[in-house]
Structure 1
Amino acid sequence: MRPEVPTIPVIPYGRQSIDAEDEAAVLAVLRSPLLTQGPATAAFEADLAAHVGARYCVAVANGTAALHICMAGLEMGSGEGITTPNTFVATSNAMAYVGLTPVFADIDPDTLNLSPAETEAALTLQTRLIAPVHFAGLPADMPAFQAMAADRDIRIVEDASHAIGSEYVGGGKVGDCRYSDATIFSFHPVKTITSGEGGAITTNDEGLYQRLLMLRSHGITRDPARLSDNPGPWWYEQQALGFNYRMTEMQAALGASQLRKLDRFMARRQAIVARYHQAFAGLNWLVRPPETPGQSVCQHLFVVQIDFEAIGQTRPEVMTALLDQGVGTQVHYIPVHLQPWYRQTHGTATGQYPAAERYYDRALSLPLFPAMTDADVERVITAVRALV
């Protein structure tokens, strides 16, 4: 039976924060001559590359498109790619798109990120790629992954869909690619900044950058330096089998406007996270996400782990009880290896990645977004503490 709609406004687990400046930026593009492949996209790419400290940036239609052409652009051939089961399906799906066999390695139960030790154990002579996901905004242990790939022909792609604004231990912004071949971002509305849909790849590899530009737009180039012939100004060449993954000018204008607010959004998220940690510190039936003293992390999700058995309630019952108080929740994520396509195609099964499965059995994401008021935050805290 479908639960009744609560009579009080629901605080969702995530939501975009759009203001008059964002609206004006999009409107200006709508009134301009170009709605695609224009100056707004190039400006957004330049701003994002400068913000994270990378040499190059390519903006695309969404985060999945970013993963796809990034992996295609690395030209790895057949083999295996390793990633975490604690993520959205797009990370491993992109491996399958480019002919790699997705392989999972278990998570570190403390950080909830891909475990370097489990990744090392999963390496084979067929491993071509490691794709760590910075879950909930906390960067994975990138120096460890870089070290294990250094003496092997293994590429590294960071899935930073959750982690724009975060910094590594020791400094450096996620996306500067000091530890990887490339980093991808997502700008879906629940992410820290949004362009509606949208994604981007940052890299310091000029060759990869040039391939990404072509793969984004049908494999076509108009660059005179790259053409095999040039009979006139109309000329273009398809030099690869590419895709139509271009970002629109409206998306780019919104993304650039949002990027200018990133520091403010980050500060508000950090304040909410600090209040949650303070309020939930004494609950012996709830495990909080890891705290990061001395490391600047822009948390995308605030995921708690609840001992449902100890409190005598199921997860659906808890979600319903919170919804009755106007608090929306979500589960991040159903382990990818438990999805039917992976079971049927790659033979994955329950029990293969016990840390990820234990985490999933207890996980619940609470509301976290910059537009939350202090009253919203206290309503969430009151509702959670009232569960027991």
Structure 2
Amino acid sequence: MSRFVTTLLAAVVLLAGPAAAQDLLIRDATVHTATARGTLQHADVLVQGGTLRAIGPGLAAPAGAQVIDAQGRPLTPAFFGGITEIGIEEVSGEEETVDSGLKLHEQPMRPEFDVTLAYNPDSVLVPVARVEGIGFTALGATTEGAFIAGQGGIVRLDGSPDPIGPRALFIRIGAAAAELTGNSRAAQWMLLDQLVDEARNRIPLDSPHALLTPAGRATLARYLAGNGRIVVQVERAADIRQLVRWAQREKVRIAIAGGSEAWKVAPLLAQAQVPVLVDALADLPANFDQVGATLENAARLHAAGVAVSFSQSNDASHNARKLRQLAGNAVAHGLPWEAALAGMTRVPAEIFGVSAQIGSIAVGQRADLVLWDGDPLDVAHYAQQVWLGGRAMPMRSRQTELRDRYMGAPGALPRAYSH
């Protein structure tokens, strides 16, 4: 990086800070729009009032605007962090810091449970993900006391406290949820059918066998009416086939998370327009539901016409920054680069119903942008600057501060006393 660009980016952070947003012109970037326009070479991007106002060559800088010379470097939409618990989990082993799961033994089925109410925008995990180019994530309810986990939604990692867009309902199907359904995956479909009957008032609320509260019935009824996405964690091809049949019968909008064997039923998913958020590093059978796992899962799904995005199966909250590595790994195994970029930006925004606001570089969208020093899907490169809503985000986190503190030149006092 040139000294000029380094100095200018540092000035952006110092002057713009997390609370300020002013007009910005990024010149001469390789703009990966994640839209039908594709990649624009040597293009300028104008940001005014936190919104993308113009994209193209030779744009004039408004009076007082900050101007950054990208020198041909990649500019992308802010990346998706996957389905995580960022802001609703701090330390996974410390229960009092984890708000993503619900255990109510007397009333286990509570679809009205909404994890976004516990979101903490000041979580230390937010800047850890953000400095790596992650601008938004889907908060997911986890399966604790019931295979109907509850609701979540999209949050932007800009410090704002509230989610955007519609909520999503999270469900787990298959062996991982069998112990919550009488130790049989077959019982999951039986229980789902009963829940549908209750939500559609085919079973009286005062029935001794009712599983849902009035609020739970109303919540599930919204999803059955197509208002919001049902995200199902499922791996085995046979279970995915049953899931698609159930979704078509009940006329609900679903997305699959995981889907280790989704490639086996790719034509079915494409025909039903069911997107899949894959773990692109799943290549070994961690259990019997993943016997068909392959590193070519994303490529095969895309080739069949399935919309592909990414999420991680393990420790996703603390490793959201690694999601672009998964996308790059999918490219290495046959997924087109542009499709991988879309899977990190536009596709998840479409899945969760927020594509009108974020997920692409288009006039009228929020200016959620990342300037990279090289290929953003190559872990050898990094994010030089992140803008969310046109505001330059501080490119520091707890990790960078610890690095700077303990890698600095030793002084007269021990390192612990450096401040």
Return the TM-score normalized by structure 1: 0.30
Return the TM-score normalized by structure 2: 0.28
Higher relative contact order (CA 8 A, sep 6+): 1
